Structure 1
Amino acid sequence: MQAGKTQKFKFSPSDGQYVNVLLLGENHILTVCEVEVYEVSEDMVAMIQSEGINVAPKGQATQSNQGSTACLSLAQNAIDWNRQYDLFKGSCTQTNTESDPWWRLVLMKTYTIVSVALTNRGDCCTEQLNGAVVHIGDSLESEGHANPVCDKVFFIPAGGTGKFRCDSALQGCYVTVGLPGENRTLSLCEVEVFRVPTE
């Protein structure tokens, strides 16, 4: 570790009440200027352990329009590691009512995607997500709707998380959730995108 620098160590979540920093060997002096320990929620642990590597939080999200609830319905809310399903608690996204609304995730590079998980609202309007289509690919043609289809949403229970495995792994840097039809409102409380492990 470089002098005066902070180094972060990442590992799988572990339960415990004690954190020990050991310096092995004889005649050593241990000096630590700061120790930071980060707690993760049960939801985050479930996401990490569920299917593999979720790359969604590394991306940038956008949507067809900004919902009327302003910051409570930002596109980025759907990739905040939080499956909270009440829109008014600030962890969901929502568009205004329109024809063919969409939400899109822009990943920093092309990944091989095997599955996508969507969390539905639980406070109301749970049927709004029925009929949504998940597209994955490297094209922005038709707002990403020209990319191959991973799967289609038929039903996700109120506040539930639906996991959709693509029939075959799809490569892409864009993940688009489109909701075909007129007078539709698209709301998502979490989007998780699982890639093929590279190790």
Structure 2
Amino acid sequence: MVSPCTPALNAVNIARQGTAEQSSPYLNFGGPNLAIDGKRSGIFSDWTCTHTSNDSPSWWRLNLKASYTISTVVVYNRLDCCDTRLTGAEVRVGDSPDVSKHVRCGTIEVTFPGSVHTICCNDLIGHYVSVVLPNQPQYLTLCEVEVYGEAVTPECKPGLNAINIARQGTAEQSSPYLDFGGPNLAIDGKRSGVFSDWTCTHTSNDSPSWWRLKLKASYDISTVVVYNRLDCCDTRLMGAEVRVGDSPDVSKHVKCGTIETTYPGSVHNICCNEMSGQYVSIVLPNQPQYLTLCEVEVYGEETTSPDSNGVAG
């Protein structure tokens, strides 16, 4: 029988562009990225299959690096032995790194040596795909996982020829970090996420840490795009709030959105829905933490005043 969600002939396996982790290692064998190496061999000695320890639960998690509507997940089982270990494995999709918070697409119920399982996810949306063996101590081995779906385009993604108004402004931050990472490095037009390229900001370990952009005038802000660090420390940006306001005091700015999931080099499109202000800020509230921004782009239109027709009020 052919699964109703069998991938199209020329469908792109988006798993290959992601990165994988698993609940534990098994000695020095079976690393998690072996499930997305494009090799479907079910022979463990071919070094193409993952392997966890005897966890409860055992899990494998794929970070797609963006949000996707997931149509299909295809799981390739082990051929040389131990095929029944995959019985009861759940394929899940979610936006949190925590696999227990993912939504289940389907369960692998019947296995045989070298079995291939096509799981319909019916366009569930998520940043992560996981395979989990719940409620039982068991080894989890995956000889390949393929994922098919379409990228979710943020509604507020800047237009093709939109002008980044941040480049016209000036920036400040809550504190310096030695002589490195000045605030204007976030608006220099360079998106490199490598700190040693001298293109990223860096505060001290403040509470709160903040970065503030002063625009040349008041703007209706549609979108703020934040580029995270690539070389290390990406989780420091977790919980950062993008805000807009007319006061230099960032505590008086109104929140547009929060960065909730990060990965090395992550890019975050925050919708501000035409919120008006002369300042845009990024704040790490309620926690001592370094704030590093490798680029901030701001898109919007200058606010039109009631007297813009030249008639005095």
Greater relative contact order, per chain length (Cα 8 Å cut-off, separation 6+):
1
Give the equivalent residue in structure 2 for 1:182: 287
Shift of 1:88: 1.2
Runs of 4+ in 1 over 6 A off after TM superposition: none
Give the equivalent residue in structure 2 for 1:191: 296
In structure 1, distance between residues paired with 2:252 and 2:295: 23
Give the equivalent residue in structure 2 for 1:154: 260
Q: More strand per residue: 1 or 2?
A: 2
Q: State whether residues 110 and 173 of structure 1, in contact with CA within 8 Å, keep that contact through their aligned partners in structure 2.
A: yes
Shift of 1:147: 1.7
1:138 and 2:272 matched = no
Shift of 1:155: 1.7
In structure 2, distance between residues paired with 1:117 and 1:81: 12
Residue type matched to 1:181 in 2? N
In structure 2, distance between residues paired with 1:113 and 1:102: 19
Give the equivalent residue in structure 2 for 1:99: 207
**Backbone CA RMSD of aligned residues:** 2.0
Summarize the Cα distance change of 1:132–1:51 in structure 2 as closer, same or farther, 3 Å threshold.
farther
Summarize the Cα distance change of 1:122–1:62 in structure 2 as closer, same or farther, 3 Å threshold.
same
Q: State whether residues 166 and 298 of structure 2, in contact with CA within 8 Å, keep that contact through their aligned partners in structure 1.
A: yes
Counterparts in 2 of 1:55-66, with a 5 A limit? 55-66=165-176
Give the equivalent residue in structure 2 for 1:32: none
Q: State whether residues 145 and 176 of structure 1, in contact with CA within 8 Å, keep that contact through their aligned partners in structure 2.
A: no
Matched pairs, number:
147
Q: State whether residues 225 and 268 of structure 2, in contact with CA within 8 Å, keep that contact through their aligned partners in structure 1.
A: yes
Provide structure 1 residue ranges, at least 5 long, that are not aligned to the other structure.
1-46
TM-score by length of 2: 0.45
Larger Rg: 2
Residue type matched to 1:155 in 2? T
SS at match of 2:196: helix
SS at match of 2:280: strand
In structure 1, distance between residues paired with 2:160 and 2:236: 25
In structure 2, distance between residues paired with 1:53 and 1:196: 9
In structure 2, distance between residues paired with 1:176 and 1:49: 22
1:16-49: CA deviation from partner (whole Å, max 9, x where unpaired): xxxxxxxxxxxxxxxxxxxxxxxxxxxxxxx986
Overall identity of the aligned pairs, in %: 35
1:52 and 2:148 matched = no
Give the equivalent residue in structure 1 for 2:73: none
Provide structure 2 residue ranges, at least 5 long, that are not aligned to the other structure.
1-156, 304-313
